[in-house]
Structure formats: structure tokens, C-alpha cells
């Protein structure tokens, strides 16, 4: 199975049409069709449902699309790494980030590095800890910012010298907005939004075995999507402070929960990882900023 053929396959999957894919790839349609038939024969599975004017993916094709996207992302990263070996002035760095205002430490490091090396490009993937560590483990990321204690058997880490504060994001016309802090009983019977990770890891530290008493209506990977539901009057969101704008012009406000709940952030990278020169530059800059914020 060749990388080139996987790129052909993904282009067909994106276009949904063999002729348009052939045009974009600058190959003839018969050549492209033969490559796909050879790929299906190699895998022993049908990858496409062929119509008169379009093609769509079979279940096996959907699986290959996911695997091919990961493989090509890794192949591109390897190519960029080797190209960067001889060019310390530029290159690509891949970073995973949890949602947190503490990502400001990354922003400060990027700002400093960009003033010296303007040809370095940064590719930031957002997600919860499980999502970004999975990409880190597969070699798709150089490092990650996560908001739960790292697995010390797999990762080296730095601890960010601040923490996130938990609270309730709500509309300003919500009756709870008159309170300075929110207790557990205030949230009973109210539709709640939160991240799936927080429901498993963080909130049980606050309410112990009582989490199932809360009406968690929906979980979101990104806080701002949950904030849209809050604005529409569907409920409140349990989240970190400073993730959503709550200034005087905003229709939303934030109130901390009590007893207070805090979450630390960590920068992690795989043990025995060999960094590209540019990724190593970023890590060293992060270390300086975290030690002397």
C-alpha cells in the first residue's frame, strides 16, 4: 500500500466523484480507477459504492479513510521533521491543547519564538486529555497541554504555575446570577452542560458520589459550543473561568462553585522523544516562561 495511492483514495472520498478527483490529482480517470481497483484487491474489500455520476464509501471505505488520514498526517510530519533538521530558521510544530486560559503560556512562548524565527509554523489541535494524548502517542504531536495529572510512566512533564477555577456559566437573567458563588444544591433539577472529561475526572472531586443527582443534559468537547446552548436558555454550563467572554456587553456571566474546585495544567511529551530542532526550541522557551512567568 503506497502513500501516493492513499492520497488518491482520500481525494476521491472528499470529492465523491472520480472525474473531479482525477482533475485535482492531475491523473487520468482510467489510471485513478485502476489504482482504486488494485487497492480494493490488495485489501480484499470493496471501498466504494459506485453510482452513475458519483461514488461513496462503504463501511470498509470509511474505516480506511480514518486510518489513511492518520497515516498521511504522520507521513507529512516525518517529512517536515527531516526537512527541519537542516533549517533551524523554519519548520512545523504540532501541539495538542486542552481548553484553558492557561494556554496563554504557550502563546507567550510562540510570541517570543516567532519574533526570532518567523518561518516556524504552529499546528494546534484542541480536545480533551484523551483525544490529545492519543494523538501524542501515535506520533502526530510533539507535545501537549493537558488538564489532568500525566501518566508518569509514559510522559515527561512540566507543571504550569497556575490553575483553572471551576464555576457556572449562565445567562445574566438566570436567578442564580444574583449569587456570589454556587453550591451543589443550587444546581439540582437544572439542565447542565459540561465536558465528558470533567464528568469523569473533575466534578466527582467536588460533589463526591452525588454527581448522578445532577441533570447533565449534554456534554461538549469545546466550552464555547456549550455556551451557545446556555445563550439559548437551555441550561447552565459547568466549566473553567475565562474561557467565555463575560464582560459588561456579554449576556453571560460566570460564578465560581463552592467549595472551590481547581484544576492544574501540565505540558507533556513522550519519554525518550527525539524533537526536531524547532520543536526543541519551543519546549525550551516554554520552560523559561513557566519558570519565570
The neighbouring-strand residues paired with 95 are 124, 143
Cα separation, 218 vs 235, whole angstroms: 10
CB count in 10 Å sphere of residue 19: 12
The per-residue pLDDT for range 221-235, each reduced to its tens digit, is 889 999 999 999 999
Helices (H) and strands (E) in the chain — how many of each?
10, 11
CB atoms within 10 A of CB 142: 24
From the options 3.40.50.1970, 3.30.70.1520, 3.80.10.10, 3.40.190.10, give the CATH code of 90-161+264-291.
3.40.190.10
Q: Which part of the chain is CATH 1.10.10.10?
A: 3-77
155 sits in the region (left: phi over 0; alpha: psi -120 to 50; else beta) called beta
The fold for domain 165-261 equals D-Maltodextrin-Binding Protein; domain 2 (3.40.190)
Report how far residue 21's alpha carbon sits from residue 15's, in angstroms, rounded to the nearest whole number.
6
CATH 3.40.190.10 domain residues, the chain: 90-161+264-291, 165-261
**DSSP 3-state assignment of 179?**
coil
Residues 41/79, Cβ–Cβ less than 8 Å: no
d(CA 226, CA 172): 16
pLDDT for residue 1 is more than 90:
no
Residue 122 forms beta bridges with which residues? 93
Query: pLDDT digit string (tens) for 202-217?
Result: 999 999 889 999 999 9
Please state the pTM of the whole predicted model: 0.70
Residues 66-78, mean pLDDT to the nearest whole number: 81
Model confidence band, residue 3 (pLDDT cutoffs 50, 70, 90) = confident
Backbone angles phi, psi at 49, to 5 degrees: -100, 115
Q: How confident is the model at residue 173 (pLDDT cuts 50, 70, 90)?
A: very high
CATH topology of domain 3-77: Arc Repressor Mutant, subunit A (1.10.10)
Amino acid at each position: 500500500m503506497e502513500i501516493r495511492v492513499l492520497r488518491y483514495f482520500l481525494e476521491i472520498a472528499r470529492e465523491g466523484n472520480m472525474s473531479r478527483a482525477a482533475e485535482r490529482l492531475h491523473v487520468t480517470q482510467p489510471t485513478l480507477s485502476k489504482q482504486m481497483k488494485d487497492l480494493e484487491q490488495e485489501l480484499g474489500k470493496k471501498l466504494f459504492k459506485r453510482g452513475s455520476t458519483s461514488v461513496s464509501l462503504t463501511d470498509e471505505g470509511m474505516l480506511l479513510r480514518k486510518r489513511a488520514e492518520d497515516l498521511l498526517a504522520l507521513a507529512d510530519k516525518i517529512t517536515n521533521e527531516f526537512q527541519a533538521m537542516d533549517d533551524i530558521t523554519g519548520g512545523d510544530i504540532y501541539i495538542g491543547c486542552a481548553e484553558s486560559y492557561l494556554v496563554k503560556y504557550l502563546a507567550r512562548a510562540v510570541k517570543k519564538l516567532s519574533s526570532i524565527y518567523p518561518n516556524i509554523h504552529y499546528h494546534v489541535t484542541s480536545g480533551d486529555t484523551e483525544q490529545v494524548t492519543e494523538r501524542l502517542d501515535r506520533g502526530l504531536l510533539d507535545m501537549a497541554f493537558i488538564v489532568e495529572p500525566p501518566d508518569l510512566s509514559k510522559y515527561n512533564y512540566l507543571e504550569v504555575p497556575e490553575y483553572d477555577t471551576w464555576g457556572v456559566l449562565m445567562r445574566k437573567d438566570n436567578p442564580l446570577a444574583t449569587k456570589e458563588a454556587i453550591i451543589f444544591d443550587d444546581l439540582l433539577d437544572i439542565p447542565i452542560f459540561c465536558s465528558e472529561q470533567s464528568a469523569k475526572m473533575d466534578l466527582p472531586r467536588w460533589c463526591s458520589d452525588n454527581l448522578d443527582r445532577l441533570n447533565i443534559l449534554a456534554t461538549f468537547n469545546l466550552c464555547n459550543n456549550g455556551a451557545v446552548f446556555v445563550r439559548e436558555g437551555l441550561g447552565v454550563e459547568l466549566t473553567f473561568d475565562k474561557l467565555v467572554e463575560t464582560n459588561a456587553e456579554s449576556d453571560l456571566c460566570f460564578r465560581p462553585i463552592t467549595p472551590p474546585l481547581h484544576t492544574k495544567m501540565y505540558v507533556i511529551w513522550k519519554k525518550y522523544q527525539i524533537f526536531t530542532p524547532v520543536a526543541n526550541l519551543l519546549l525550551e522557551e516554554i520552560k523559561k516562561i513557566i519558570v519565570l512567568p
